[in-house]
Amino acid sequence: MRNLFLLFTRFGHILLFLIFQIISVFLIVTYNKSQKDIWLNSVNVFSGNINEKLQGFSNYTHLKEINDSLMHENAKLQEKIINYKNFQKENLYNTFNGDSSLLQYKLIPVSLCSKTTHLRNNYFSICQGKKAGLRKRMGIITDKGILGITTKCTDKFCKSIFIINSQSRINAQIKTKEYEGIVQWESSDQRELNMYSIPKFANVEEGDTVETSGHSTVFPPGIPIGVVTKVDILEGQNEYKIELKMFEDLSTVRNGFAIDYNYWQEKDSLIQEVVDE
Amino acid sequence: MSEVAKYGIRFLIIFLFQVLILKRVDINPEGSSYIHLMVYPLFIFILPIRTPKSLVVALGFILGLLVDMFYDSPGVHASALCFTAFIRSFVLRILESADGYTTSTVPSMKDFGISEFVIYSAILLGLHLLFYFSMEAFSFVYIGEIILRTIASFIVSIVLLILIQMIINR
């Protein structure tokens, strides 16, 4: 207590000075018009700046949510396009009316947790699993091409085989020509694919686009894969060896869509029965 | 006459002289307002050195507030005089001679001598005016205006202040 008193006798005038200054400034800005205007203006500029900074920061913290919502929106749009294309292919004389029973493909937005692109057998994992509606043997695509097929799913994660895996085989066709072949990865370049089983009378040219055929339950028709860069006819055989360049750069991919085909069980079991017979 | 009564009377005289007489005197050239006559800080200047610093600051604030009432500018003079009262102790310490002050020293013309008193009051009045005009403008955008007013007002006010001190000092 005595110390406090001593402190006040020592520095009390500084304290008093500060208090009186605060009171004075308060009086000035409350009762004097020109000073009040300057004060309000300055405070506005100051608080405006602070608000702007805060807004920027909160925008930054909301980026993930915004990103997620955009992904969902993209999934919706892609879904519409895919279903529309599929419908057109199956029904040449009807018009698409958006009836939900006609929507055969559903898209689920996914993000990649990890991936390898430099090995012979490359895999990637997805941060969504069974809880998000994923299952085994679903195709994973982006807006520029296909990524791969899921092989095993847990509740929260999925392991998938990359298209640049020496074991991956994708049914594909040359766009506008409708000849079907098989796309696989043989080179060490992660942007190049090979395509086989196209008969040599198909008249394939460099610059043709290769897309999925849609004859499996994994990929819908019309998803682009790549562009033809080189055409060879194998010696003594009846088919082309085609080199493709992929549209998508797999080393920078972060997000994609999983494709859910509504009638996959029906179609797969039918194919299985035919194979069994 | 006790000290308190003596300084009470000086307080009243200086205050009334400022608000009743100097407020009505306008020696500015037509259409300008650079010269403000201000002698009321004199009361703070001539308080005895042994006066507690807190009391000096408080008296400065009260006198400033009273002046503000007559000048219709709540807070401006109070802020400035409070500031002047606060820095008085620093100025006194800088001007302190080698043998220092005795307890009964009063910063007046009699104790300080004329030249030292002029220097002392010139420093304080200059700072007071600078602070006052800064507060009045309330923005350093008008820094040129502030300095011009300070210089113009200072020249006239310091002469008046010395004259009044000479009268009171007797």
Delineate the domains of chain A, giving CATH numbers in brackets. Answer: 2-61 (no CATH), 65-276 (2.40.10.340)
- Count structural domains, chain B: 1
Full pLDDT tens readout for chain A, 277 residues: 778 777 777 778 888 889 999 999 888 888 888 888 888 888 888 888 998 888 888 888 888 888 888 888 888 888 888 888 887 777 767 766 666 666 788 889 898 888 888 888 889 999 898 998 899 889 999 888 899 999 999 999 999 999 998 888 898 998 888 788 999 998 888 889 999 888 888 888 888 999 998 888 888 888 889 999 999 887 888 888 899 999 888 888 888 899 988 888 888 888 888 888 8
Closest-CA residue of chain B to A15: B54
Is residue B130 domain-resident? Answer: yes
Distance CA A210, CA A245 (A): 10
Q: What is the mean pLDDT of residues B21-29?
A: 82
At B75-134, the pLDDT tens digits run 889 999 999 999 998 888 888 876 777 777 788 887 888 888 899 999 999 999 999 999
Instruction: Quote the ipTM score.
Output: 0.84
Mutate to test the interface with B, among A16, A22, A41, A45 (most CBs of B within 10 A): A16
Share of chain B above pLDDT 90, in %: 30
CB contact under 8 A, A17 and B57: yes
Q: Answer with the residue of higher pLDDT: A187 or B13.
A: B13
Is residue B84 domain-resident? Answer: yes
CB contact under 8 A, A24 and B82: yes
Using a CB-CB distance cutoff of 8 angstroms, which residues of chain B are in contact with residue A24? Answer: 61, 64, 75-76, 78-79, 82, 135
8 Å CB contact between A13 and B44: no
Q: What is the domain-level CATH number for residue B84?
A: 1.10.1760
Q: Amino acid identity of A152?
A: K
Q: How far off is chain B from A23, nearest CA to CA, in Å?
A: 8
Q: How far off is chain B from A255, nearest CA to CA, in Å?
A: 54
φ/ψ (deg, to 5) at B127: -65, -40
Vertex A77: Cα angle to A60 and A265 (nearest 5): 115
- Tokens read off for B64: 């400033």
Q: Which residue has the tokens 């699993």?
A: A129
**Helix B53-71 × helix B76-95 angle, to 10°:** 140
Query: Residue B118 sits in which domain range?
Result: 3-89+106-168
**Residue B1 confidence (pLDDT):** 64
Is residue B97 domain-resident? Answer: no
Distance CA A128, CA A112 (A): 9
- Tokens read off for A99: 């009836």
CB contact under 8 A, A13 and B83: no
CA dihedral B36, B40, B44, B47 (to 10 degrees): 140
**Residue A98 confidence (pLDDT):** 63
Say how many Å lie between the first and final Cα of chain A, rounded: 101
Say how many Å lie between the first and final Cα of chain B, rounded: 15
Closest-CA residue of chain A to B139: A38
Is residue B135 domain-resident? Answer: yes
Is residue B94 domain-resident? Answer: no
8 Å CB contact between B55 and B86: no
Helix (H) or strand (E) holding A158: strand A158-165
The pTM of this model reads 0.55
B144-153, long-range: CB < 8 A, 24+ apart: B148/B34, B149/B34, B149/B36, B150/B126, B152/B34, B152/B35, B153/B34, B153/B35, B153/B36, B153/B37, B153/B38, B153/B129
Is residue B99 domain-resident? Answer: no
Interchain contact A41–B (C-beta under 8 A): no
Give every CB contact of residue A39 below 8 A, 6+ residues apart in sequence: A28, A29, B138
- Tokens read off for B42: 């004199």
Is residue B98 domain-resident? Answer: no
Interchain contact A38–B (C-beta under 8 A): yes
Q: Which residue has the tokens 């009390």?
A: A12
Q: Which of residues 243-272 of A touch B (CB under 8 A)?
A: none
CB contact under 8 A, B82 and A20: yes
Is residue B58 domain-resident? Answer: yes
Interchain contact A7–B (C-beta under 8 A): no
